[in-house]
């Protein structure tokens, strides 16, 4: 570790993925490279656009917006991201495209429609495709919001990793936004995470149980998580193209190369305000736990990964109405009333107590209240579509999501 690393909660990184679709039909449009033109005049994996960066990974119909430099606060980011959304839509218009939010495209057939990114880093994506076949929903049809939190050394890593590990199962309860696949409701409100957790089934160690195993140092993390992945991949990737920290597909991954942990379990929401409100709520809870306000790190790490994965499965399926069981788990969050609680009630308790002050707090609270009182976005999508979903009903709801993204307002 070096002295120029940021310490706990000194900086924040946000990455938000949106899909590019046809403005009339809502079919995916694989034109990301037309927006990502670098200084050389050729397509680039990442370009700087004002205070943010635009980038692409793996597939040609996804555009990612992210903080160019680590932000000093999550407050104050709504407007820069909203301006980038407007600019991207303006640039997509001549191609007949527009941005569509949420965790998955509701009617896409990835086996037929996906196009992999053929430019910079294409060798990496081709290797993923050769090993795992990326023409499936778990690779080609998923949009997420990534939250990056820093650590300076092993001591800070231990606290941050433990806090994130036990918070991950709660996040789909407020972030699930993907209830449809191939034109039909699934049995999961967070279908993106459900298909994601199976996308590397050929080499199971790559994603594990999505919840990372406990680790209190870089050495322990490498021995417990990374080295087994590299060893299992070697027969499929003898050149070591994928031998890097980012091949780890757990719901939170340590990036020791830049001193951060990247949280990946958040579905993209219908607007920037909701994305950042959820990131703010997640950060507040993680900070509270990392400060050991309600439980020591040892108690967090003592919880079996399998127990946390079972809670995650419940929130993937039921979102805000999932029942969170386990007195030992709930006590980590200062919940001592009983041994089970509805996820939305636990989140109300946590947001009321721990959401941090700042210029966007009032807007965050209002956005989170919509989620807690009217349901996560997946539930609101299903409510609008009705009991007998048709392609027409689905298209109407997702056109409303396009407007939500453009206007910065939530779907009600």
Please write the tens of the pLDDT for every residue from 65-101: 999 999 999 999 999 999 999 999 999 999 999 999 9
- What residues contact residue 194 under an 8 Å CB cut-off, 6+ apart? 186, 188, 316
3-class secondary-structure state, position 313: helix
Do 270 and 411 contact (CB within 8 A), yes or no?
A: yes
Q: Please state, in angstroms and rounded to a whole number, the distance separating the CA atoms of residues 152 and 176.
A: 31
pLDDT (tens digit, 9 = 90+) per residue, 164-207? 999 999 999 999 999 999 999 999 999 999 999 999 999 999 99
Confidence of residue 1 (pLDDT cuts 50, 70, 90): very low
DSSP H helices, 291-390, are: 297-302, 305-318, 327-330, 343-354, 361-374, 377-385
Residue 3 has pLDDT above 70, yes or no: no
pLDDT confidence of residue 240: 96
Confidence of residue 58 (pLDDT cuts 50, 70, 90): confident
Residue 353 has pLDDT above 60, yes or no: yes
Mean pLDDT of 24-30: 96
- What residues contact residue 224 under an 8 Å CB cut-off, 6+ apart? 213, 215
* Cα dist from 212 to 53, 215, 260, 328, whole Å: 28, 9, 15, 18
Do 33 and 117 contact (CB within 8 A), yes or no?
A: yes
Q: The domain 13-407: what is its CATH number?
A: 3.30.590.20
Q: How many residues does the chain have?
A: 412
Q: Please state, in angstroms and rounded to a whole number, the distance separating the CA atoms of residues 395 and 144.
A: 21
pLDDT confidence of residue 185: 97
Mean pLDDT of 113-132: 88
Confidence of residue 118 (pLDDT cuts 50, 70, 90): confident
Q: Please state, in angstroms and rounded to a whole number, the distance separating the CA atoms of residues 106 and 54.
A: 24
Any idea which of 39-53, 198-212, 227-241, 304-318 has the lowest mean pLDDT?
39-53
Percentage above 90 pLDDT, the chain: 91
Q: Please state, in angstroms and rounded to a whole number, the distance separating the CA atoms of residues 207 and 349.
A: 31
Q: Please state, in angstroms and rounded to a whole number, the distance separating the CA atoms of residues 120 and 125.
A: 10
Mean pLDDT of 221-247: 97
Question: CA dihedral defined by 338, 341, 344, 347, rounded to 10 degrees?
Answer: 40
Burial class of residue 388 (count of CB atoms within 10 Å of its CB; 0-12, 13-18, 19+): exposed
Q: Please state, in angstroms and rounded to a whole number, the distance separating the CA atoms of residues 139 and 125.
A: 11
Please provide the average confidence, as pLDDT, over all residues in the chain.
96
Confidence of residue 2 (pLDDT cuts 50, 70, 90): very low
pLDDT confidence of residue 387: 86
pLDDT confidence of residue 146: 98
Mean pLDDT of 44-52: 94
Q: Please state, in angstroms and rounded to a whole number, the distance separating the CA atoms of residues 44 and 324.
A: 44
Percentage above 70 pLDDT, the chain: 99
Structure-model confidence comparison of residues 388 and 206, the more confident one: 206
Structure tokens at 98: 């527009």
Any idea which of 114-118, 262-266, 323-327 has the lowest mean pLDDT?
114-118
Phi, then psi, of 12 in degrees rounded to 5:
-145, 140
pLDDT confidence of residue 268: 98
- What residues contact residue 87 under an 8 Å CB cut-off, 6+ apart? 49
């Amino acid at each position: 570790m070096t002295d120029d690393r940021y310490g706990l909660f000194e900086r924040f990184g946000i990455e938000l993925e949106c899909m590019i679709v046809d403005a009339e039909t809502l079919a995916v449009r694989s034109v990301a490279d037309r927006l990502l033109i670098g200084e050389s005049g050729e397509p680039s994996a990442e370009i700087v656009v004002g205070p943010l960066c635009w980038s692409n990974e793996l597939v040609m119909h996804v555009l990612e917006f992210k903080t160019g430099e680590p932000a000093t606060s999550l407050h104050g980011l709504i407007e820069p991201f909203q301006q980038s959304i407007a600019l991207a839509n303006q640039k997509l218009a001549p191609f007949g495209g527009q941005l569509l939010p949420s965790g998955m495209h509701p009617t896409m057939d990835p086996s037929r429609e996906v196009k992999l990114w053929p430019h910079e880093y294409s060798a990496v994506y081709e290797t993923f495709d050769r090993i795992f076949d990326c023409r499936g929903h778990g690779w080609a049809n998923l949009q997420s919001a990534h939250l990056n939190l820093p650590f300076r050394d092993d001591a800070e890593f231990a606290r941050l990793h433990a806090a994130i590990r036990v918070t991950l199962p709660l996040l789909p309860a407020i972030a699930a936004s993907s209830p449809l696949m191939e034109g039909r409701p699934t049995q999961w409100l967070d279908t993106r995470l459900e298909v994601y957790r199976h996308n590397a089934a050929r080499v199971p160690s790559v994603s594990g149980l999505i919840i990372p195993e406990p680790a209190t140092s870089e050495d322990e993390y490498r021995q417990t998580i990374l080295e087994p992945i590299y060893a299992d991949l070697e027969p499929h990737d003898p050149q070591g193209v994928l031998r890097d920290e980012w091949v780890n597909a757990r719901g939170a991954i340590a990036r020791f190369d830049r001193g951060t942990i990247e949280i990946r379990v958040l579905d993209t929401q219908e607007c920037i305000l909701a994305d950042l409100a959820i990131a703010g709520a997640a950060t507040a809870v993680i900070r509270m736990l990392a400060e050991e306000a309600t439980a020591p790190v040892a108690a967090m790490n003592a919880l079996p990964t399998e127990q946390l994965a079972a809670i995650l499965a419940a929130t993937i399926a039921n979102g805000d109405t999932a029942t969170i069981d386990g007195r030992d788990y709930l006590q980590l969050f200062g919940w001592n009333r009983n041994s089970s609680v509805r996820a939305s009630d636990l989140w109300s308790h946590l947001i009321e107590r721990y959401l941090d002050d700042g210029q966007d707090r009032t807007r965050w609270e209002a956005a989170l209240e919509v989620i807690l009182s009217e349901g996560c976005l997946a539930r609101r999508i299903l409510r609008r579509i009705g009991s007998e979903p048709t392609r027409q009903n689905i298209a109407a709801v997702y056109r409303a999501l396009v407007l939500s993204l453009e206007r910065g307002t939530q779907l009600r």
